[in-house]
Amino acid sequence: MEAAPKPGSGAHVKGQGKKQKPRRYWEGGNDEAHPLPDKGSKRKWEERPQPKDAQVPKKPKQIREPRPKQKQELSSKQTQKVLRSKQTQKVLRPKQNLKDCNSDQKQELKPNQTLSGAQDPFPGPAPVSENAVNKFRRGGSKFVTKQPLKLVTKDKLKVAASEEEETSVRAARAELLLSEEPGFLEGEDGEDTATIHQSDIVEAVDIASAAKHFDLNLHQFGPYRLNYSRTGRHLALGGRRGHVATFDWITKKLMCEINVMEAVRDIRFLHTETLFAVAQKRWLHIYDNQGIELHCVRRCDRVTRLEFLPFHFLLATASETGFLTYLDVSVGKIVASLMARAGRLDVMTQNPHNAVIHLGHSNGTVSLWCPAMKEPVVKILCHRGGVRAVAVDSSGTYMATSGLDHQVKIFDLRGKYQPLTARALPQGAGHLAFSQRGLLAGGMGDVVTIWRGQGQGGFPSLDQPYLTHRPHGHIHSLQFCPFEDVLGAGHSRGFTSILVPGAGEPNFDGLESNPYRSRKQRQEWEVKALMEKIPAELIGLDPRNLGEIDVISLEQKKKERVERLGFDPEAKAPFQPKQKKKGRSSTANLVKRKIKVKDQEHREQVRQSLQQQQQQQKKLQTSQSTGPPPSALDRFKR
């Protein structure tokens, strides 16, 4: 859909490289797994640079706001084209199983002949670039084989390797289906993107996207907390003075709106949009999508912040009393209640990578918690003053914190926990939020600032803001909408939805979180998700731990077994000298022989280690010997 050109300006629609006709329902070609969500009008974006001679001098900039986001199957011809063009890269062909090989042989016998007589112009499976495949590999092998392996072991390892290869090749192939590209915002020749106003963006994008920028003028019930559902389709608002509402924010269809007649501290959707939890003045309440109160959880009292861990079905609550409580919403049990010993807790976020809860404290530390541990797994000193806000990016690599010392810092969470960048802001940020693609939003007073990183996977650089916006009230909460280029800001005078090109992930997983899912699909997803629920005790810093052998208990078991048996069945038998005749087997002689063998073994070991050292030194020398050759006089150098 193209926006109608303005009557007066003489603008013409340009850049139709990706022109898409609206889809009719009879136009097939969609995979069944992802039923067509919305006919047509949803998924277009336009490229409409303003003409240079337009009246507004500031405009010319390119804004692309891609709309999600559906797996599309390109026709085979297109794929061929795409892949042929990459022939400079090294290409891989997946290993074929036996049957495929046989069919290949057949092909050799009758080249390119099919039953219908038509010839396949591109026989065989399409090539895949190695870079794409490497992305899906699960890391190299950790162990090095010194001794020759058993045949059986070798077989198993070979099978595992081939499986990995095949799955990664398949995954790389399937990447073709991720057809949507992220949006971006570019200023024209050195123009600062931070100076671009929301209205400019709204003008430049298509109507559907423009409609995503809106204000809710709710001045009565005080500063608002907000939460988007996991699919990004629904929005829950909770006003300090008791106003609670949930609605489908894209169609603006209200689901429920109530006033709980009590202070509302926080609001959060549970696993689906049909349930949401509200932290009220005294207790935690759970409502359904019609606003009917389902539960009042009295064990979670005076809750200040809520976090929902979707894969574990845990609702984490931080309370004024200093408790961090995990509530399993699938069975309604409290899994763990941890005493943080750090006073009132009102800064909390979750690490989406490993479901660890981050709490910010008034003594400038951020503590990381998991329900199975009674003490914080990690405690990081971040600020001189108290911590005001914490946010963790979607890959779980970076943590942004802001403190009372007006600093915003970004920490590396990959083992070192060191600050990567820091920046002092005039007022300090009261709220922080990471987007799916790594944009960082900070709320300072009544200003929202968004920072962007350089390149994919990097942390946002705090030097230069990417966008700024000033809603009408003081910011009370911030969250990026998943799968949309939208930042939601709850403030004292309502709610503002801000367009941030390039914030959301353009391709969604239709089976995981589908913004267009029907009720039936949601129900099916719910069942599946419940079946795949991860036990709460598995939460830890490294989620890959589960794939490793528990070495400590392995050794413990071994030790116990040795104790039980009285000997080590796997140990190498010690040298036992043979009995010899004619007085040569005297005790002294036996001992001598034993020592001799022992010494020999020792010598062998020493020899080997020496060899290794020498090799290492050689390597070092070869690496170092880039400079001029050493002269004899070097020894007199000082």
Partner 1 sequence: DISLLPSGSLLALSHLGKAVDSLKDFPQSASEDEEAIDGERNHQKLLEKIGYLDGKNRLAERSEASLQVSEFSVSNEGTGEQLDLAELLGPIKSSSSMGTVKKQLKKVKNKKTVDLPLSKEERERISREAAYNKISQDMTKWDPVVLKNRRAAQLVFPLEQDGVLENCIGEVLGSWKARTPLEKEIFNLLHQNKQPLTDPLLTPVEKESLKAMSLEEAKQRRAELQKARALQSYYEARARREKKIKSKKFHKVLKKRNDKKILKNFEELRKVDPTSALEELAKMERARIQERMSLKHQNKGKWAKSKVIMAKYDLEARKAMQEQLLKNKELTQKLKVPSDSEHDEDAEEENGLIPDIVNEVQISTDGPNPWMQRNHGITTKTPPIQKEPLSSEESELEEDEKANEEEEALLQELIERRSLRKGSEVDQAPRRTEETEEVLAELRTLSEQINKKAKKRQDGEQSVNSSSAVSKEPSIQREEQPSLDERPERVQTMEALDTLGLDEAVQEQKVLEPEQEHRPSKQKSPLKKKKEPMAALHTIISGKTHQANPLSAPIVVEEEDCDEDATQRQIIKEAFAGDDVIADFQKDKLEAEKASKPKEIDLSLPGWGQWGGPGLVISARKRRRFLVKAPKGSARKDQCLPNVVISEKRNIQAAAHQVNVLPFPFTHQGQFEETIKVPVGATWNTQRAFQKLTAPRIVTRPGYIIEPIKEKDVESSPSHWAHQPYRGKARLHGYSPPPPKERSIKESPITHQLITHTPPLLPPQKKKKNLATMSTGDEASFWK
User: In terms of CB distance, is 211 or 258 closer to partner 1?
Assistant: 211
Interactions with partner 1, residue window 517-536 (CB under 8 A): 532, 535
The torsion angles phi and psi of 519, rounded to 5 degrees, stand at: -65, -40
* Number of residues lying near partner 1 (CB under 8 A): 131
Least distance from partner 1 to the Cβ atom of residue 363, Å: 6
User: In terms of CB distance, is 80 or 283 closer to partner 1?
Assistant: 80
Q: Helical H runs in 135-234?
A: 151-174, 198-204, 207-210
557: contact with partner 1 by CB under 8 A: yes
41: contact with partner 1 by CB under 8 A: yes
User: In terms of CB distance, is 7 or 628 closer to partner 1?
Assistant: 7
Nearest to 497 by CA among 74, 209, 242: 209
Under 8 Å CB-to-CB from 323, ≥6 apart: which residues? Answer: 337, 338, 339, 340, 345
CA distance 164 to 172: 12
Q: Is 367:345 a contact under the CB 8 Å cutoff?
A: no
- Using CA atoms in the order 105, 106, 108, 111, what is the torsion angle rounded to 10 degrees? -160
Name residue, tokens 């820091």. Answer: 422
What sign for the dihedral angle of Cα 220, 223, 225, 228?
Answer: positive
Least distance from partner 1 to the Cβ atom of residue 210, Å: 6
Under 8 Å CB-to-CB from 491, ≥6 apart: which residues? Answer: 223, 224, 446, 471, 472, 473, 474, 475, 476
412: contact with partner 1 by CB under 8 A: no
Least distance from partner 1 to the Cβ atom of residue 442, Å: 10
User: In terms of CB distance, is 283 or 417 closer to partner 1?
Assistant: 417
Segment interacting with partner 1 (CB under 8 A) among 214-222, 289-297, 319-327, 609-617: 214-222
Least distance from partner 1 to the Cβ atom of residue 239, Å: 13
Integer angstrom CA distances of residue 173 from 75, 123, 321 = 14, 16, 52
**Six token digits for residue 414:** 């990959």
User: In terms of CB distance, is 217 or 290 closer to partner 1?
Assistant: 217
Least distance from partner 1 to the Cβ atom of residue 625, Å: 31
| Residue selected from 404, 422, 562, 590 as contacting partner 1 according to rule CB under 8 A | 404
Site track 367-396 with partner 1 (rule: CB under 8 A), x = hit: ---x-xx-xxxxxxxxxxx-----------
User: In terms of CB distance, is 184 or 214 closer to partner 1?
Assistant: 214
**Six token digits for residue 608:** 């080997």
26: contact with partner 1 by CB under 8 A: yes
Least distance from partner 1 to the Cβ atom of residue 333, Å: 15
SS3 call for 362: coil
Nearest to 232 by CA among 517, 36, 470: 517
Segment interacting with partner 1 (CB under 8 A) among 263-271, 345-353, 363-371, 578-586: 363-371
Segment interacting with partner 1 (CB under 8 A) among 264-272, 273-281, 440-448, 606-614: 440-448
340: contact with partner 1 by CB under 8 A: no
SS3 call for 597: helix
CA distance 371 to 375: 9
| Residue selected from 19, 90, 95, 138 as contacting partner 1 according to rule CB under 8 A | 138
| Residue selected from 203, 262, 288, 412 as contacting partner 1 according to rule CB under 8 A | 203
197: contact with partner 1 by CB under 8 A: yes
**Six token digits for residue 72:** 């599309």
Segment interacting with partner 1 (CB under 8 A) among 392-400, 403-411, 604-612, 615-623: 403-411
Least distance from partner 1 to the Cβ atom of residue 546, Å: 6
| Residue selected from 12, 111, 152, 572 as contacting partner 1 according to rule CB under 8 A | 152
> 460 has which bridge partners?
453
143: contact with partner 1 by CB under 8 A: yes
User: In terms of CB distance, is 28 or 583 closer to partner 1?
Assistant: 28
CB-CB neighbours of 24 under 10 Å: 10
CA angle (630, 631, 634) in 5-degree steps: 90
